[in-house]
A = this chain, B = another copy of it.
């Protein structure tokens, strides 16, 4: 349903990237795949552009000729500062600056719950609250969100930042009953970000149709995202296999879960 001619999908060999390839031409008439390693089993509409996000020239080459980007690549969880810096911060800049130079019109960015992880589980937030990252990883997500805002305000490149909760095959802990985003719903949400007539700069939360919720997604309702799956179906199974936990444990108390309970990555390593 998209009218984009050529869409670059970064992180295409990762868990979510692999899922998104199933969207086929709903991402773009041509889909360029990029990851550090080559992608396998290319379909007719797919092209492979393996690259390191921190290499501007390589990114620029992959972006040239595209009118849309789905940016799922980069370090997907907390890591050493150098990794966060190169993969997510420098990598994020490279994507946006290449997009500007080559006339890309729209970007879908995989932001994260960890951009707002320090809100309490009992707080309901929408996409306009101040960010409260719970990790260097989370800080890097807010960096790209701000970069996206800037590239829209000054250069008109549209972005939807999807703050993805927990996109796994199924929910496995009690917090997932809130944050779970099924693979199918993840695909649908990205497709809707690409088919919407106008997105401007928007922040959407990536969760399935779960009864438990601490996110108010109304500010993104114009996307028409209509989740088909629900963590509710796993509720009894999850309760049976887990215990209640201490409500004062940061992993229980805050939206970011275990990221809030961890110390600084360098300390944790020791």
Contacts and interface: CB of A to CB of B under 8 A. Distances in A.
A124 B221 contact: yes
Nearest to A212: B224
Contacts of A195: 239, 244
A121 B202 CA distance: 11
A132 interface: yes
A41 interface: no
A143 B142 CA distance: 7
Given A146-B143, A150-B139, A226-B211, A245 B118 contact: no
A38 interface: no
Contacts of A260: 154
A174 B197 contact: yes
Which of A135, A146, A263 neighbours the largest number of chain B CB atoms within 10 Å of its CB? A146
A245 B196 CA distance: 10
Interface of A: 1-3, 81, 85, 89-90, 93, 97, 100, 105, 118, 120-122, 124, 128, 130-136, 138-139, 142-143, 146-147, 149-150, 153-156, 158, 174-175, 177-178, 195-202, 210-214, 216, 218-219, 221-226, 232, 235-236, 239, 243-245, 247-248, 252-253, 260, 263-264
16 contacts: A3-B243, A121-B197, A121-B198, A122-B222, A124-B222, A130-B149, A131-B146, A132-B149, A139-B146, A174-B197, A197-B244, A199-B247, A211-B221, A211-B225, A211-B226, A212-B222
